[in-house]
Amino acid sequence: MKVVRLHAAGDLQYHTEEKPVEIPGDAIIRIGAVGICGSDLHWFDDAGIGDARLERPLILGHEMAGFAETGKYAGQMVAIDPSVPCGNCDFCKEGNPNFCPTQRFAGHAEEDGAMREYMVWPEECLFPLPEGFSCADGVMLEPLGVAIYAVDLSGIKSGDTVGVFGCGPIGLLIIQLARQAGAGQIIATDILAHRLEAAKKLGADQVFLADQMQEVEVIRQVIDAKGLDVVIEVAGDNEAVEAALALVKPGGKVTLVGIPSDNRTSVDAATVRRKGLALQWVRRMKHTYPRAIQLVQSGKIDVGSLISGHFSFDQVNQAFETAQKREGLKIILSINEGSESVR
């Protein structure tokens, strides 16, 4: 089978490898589609993310869907949860598998991801997709899961004024979820105009171009003097964090989703202290796939409009170059051509 491995920063190479064999409790999956995430770009640009570094040629890809060839879902289109927790540690038993210290995560560190024609993955991590879903829709359930978890943690209440700072795919999904949660007003920022256009279409009431914190004073003029009730930062940029701290109300909450490229987030201690702010970091997601499927199936959340480009598996370098430019929203790799039509 064909796979693509990251050998060093910017160095993706194709390989021919043996098709995986079935393992008890796991299923062989013919990969249909994979999304390119911001964390994949961290690996591609920097040969690592956070404190994880590239130790060997790695198969990227954790936003994934395909067709189960074996196991209880054989023949069905499935979304694939990239996280495999141990199930036995205290965190798993407490219902927090995203904190499991030994979890495997596709396309990260020592665990190969989905940018290959076939993979073996635990059946418990597979979620059959309803009629009418495509593999690309299934791919989008992973970023939607992160967005669901972030909104859960944020504690948005009906009528809240909510800031979403960073309007990439996860930020745009958060905007939709905030509207579903009853947000009274949604303020969105980003450094890219086309993302702000998408934010406006998907539910943001007002959008502002982020420009070295200059947007802060402009936003102050259009919101209640007390400040934003909740801010969710999804930019991975410290200026977005600083803007969030400046605009959230005293006693408010800032939820941090973005991953900074330098593995550092700094805050003004006086602001945080004087406002008595709660800062909440988001660790991936947990137990979100069934909810994500229902939200998309019901039409309450639009994932299709976030997909801005499709590339074949032979165009992986072009796909990453396009994603790097951030001219669109979500880039999808079609791995097995024609898989979308097979049920």
Q: Quick check: pTM over 0.75?
A: yes
Query: Which superfamily is assigned to 145-281 in CATH?
Result: NAD(P)-binding Rossmann-like Domain (3.40.50.720)
Environment class of 252 (CB within 10 Å of its CB; exposed 0-12, middle 13-18, buried 19+): buried
Environment class of 316 (CB within 10 Å of its CB; exposed 0-12, middle 13-18, buried 19+): buried
pLDDT tens string 38-78: 999 999 999 999 889 999 999 999 999 999 999 999 999 99
Is residue 189 a contact partner of residue 232, using CB atoms and an 8 Å limit?
Answer: no
DSSP symbol at 98: G
Alpha helices in the chain (DSSP H): 38-46, 90-93, 135-154, 169-180, 193-201, 215-220, 238-247, 269-275, 289-297, 316-325
Beta strand 11-16 pairing with 118-122: unpaired
Nearest to 143, CA basis, from 337, 26, 336, 292: 292
Residue 343 confidence (pLDDT): 31
Domain locations in the chain?
Answer: 2-128+303-341, 145-281
Q: Say if residue 210's pLDDT is above 50.
A: yes
CA Rg, the chain, in Å? 20
* Candidates 3.20.20.70, 2.115.10.20, 3.40.190.10, 3.90.180.10; CATH matching 2-128+303-341: 3.90.180.10
Residue 342 confidence (pLDDT): 34
Is residue 331 a contact partner of residue 323, using CB atoms and an 8 Å limit?
Answer: yes
pLDDT tens string 159-198: 999 999 999 999 999 999 999 999 999 999 999 999 999 9
- Unique residue bearing structure tokens 């330098």: 262
Is residue 187 a contact partner of residue 160, using CB atoms and an 8 Å limit?
Answer: no
